[in-house]
Amino acid sequence: MAKLFEETQINGMVLANRFVRSATWEGMAGEDGSVTPKLIDCMINLARGGIGLIISSHTYIHRAGQAGPWQLGVYSDDLIPGLTAMADAVHKNSGKIVMQLAHAGFFANAKLSGHQPFAVSDVEGMAKSPRKEMTVQEIGEIVRAFTDAAKRAKRAGFDGVQIHSAHGYLMSQFLSPAFNRRTDKYGGSVENRARALSWKRFGLSGAVLGKTIRCSLK
């Protein structure tokens, strides 16, 4: 048990201990995904409570990717000041913070986003309302949105980013043969289904983000 309290490192990022707060939806962001004082207070309490690494709640990278109400957003440069305040608050309390980047895809909330949800494939019978099967061009646009979001996280002072590829969200949908019935280069084999998730596709290299921000995949 004592080892949990020891200082450690993740790819050069020094953590005060081995306690990690995994990404958890707080429901404290503004209606537009902006950071609120209540959300900053939550992060401060986590850092003061001794959490070595905080991973933010799933943060939507594109307006069409919003999953639910009061969800944190990083789809616009207008959100950077609030995100900067949140990262600064964690750092001032001796913590580290990573932003989880997400797109809900098939499970996006059209009423909140104002956009028809994207689907990797238009699978009949899976949804009660229409879904739009993504074109190759739209896949490229979403990948670039992830890259832009990672750059905003860096500008805001976050210590890293995590790509959300679990829980049935968009990047998970690419991997799943239940959701991915495509016959182009993004469907079929495991290699093709994983194509959209490659670091090369995201452009999340050291040349883009530098050596001070870490990238991971959930």
**Would you call 110 helix, strand, or coil by DSSP?**
helix
Q: Catalytic site residue 169?
A: yes
Which one of 60, 75, 169, 186 is the catalytic residue?
169
Burial class (CB in 10 A: 0-12, 13-18, 19+), 123: middle
Distance CA 35, CA 44 (A): 13
Cα distance between residue 131 and residue 121, in whole Å: 9
Report the distance separating Cα 45 and Cα 29, nearest Å: 16
Q: CB-hemisphere CA count at 13 Å for 93?
A: 21
> Which residue carries 């799933």 as its tokens?
58
Tell me the residue length of the chain.
218
Dist CA 79 CA 131 (whole Å): 28
Phi-psi sector, 170: left (phi>0), alpha (psi -120 to 50), beta: alpha
CA distance 66 to 204: 22
Q: CA–CA separation, 186 vs 82, rounded Å?
A: 36
Please list the active-site residues: 169
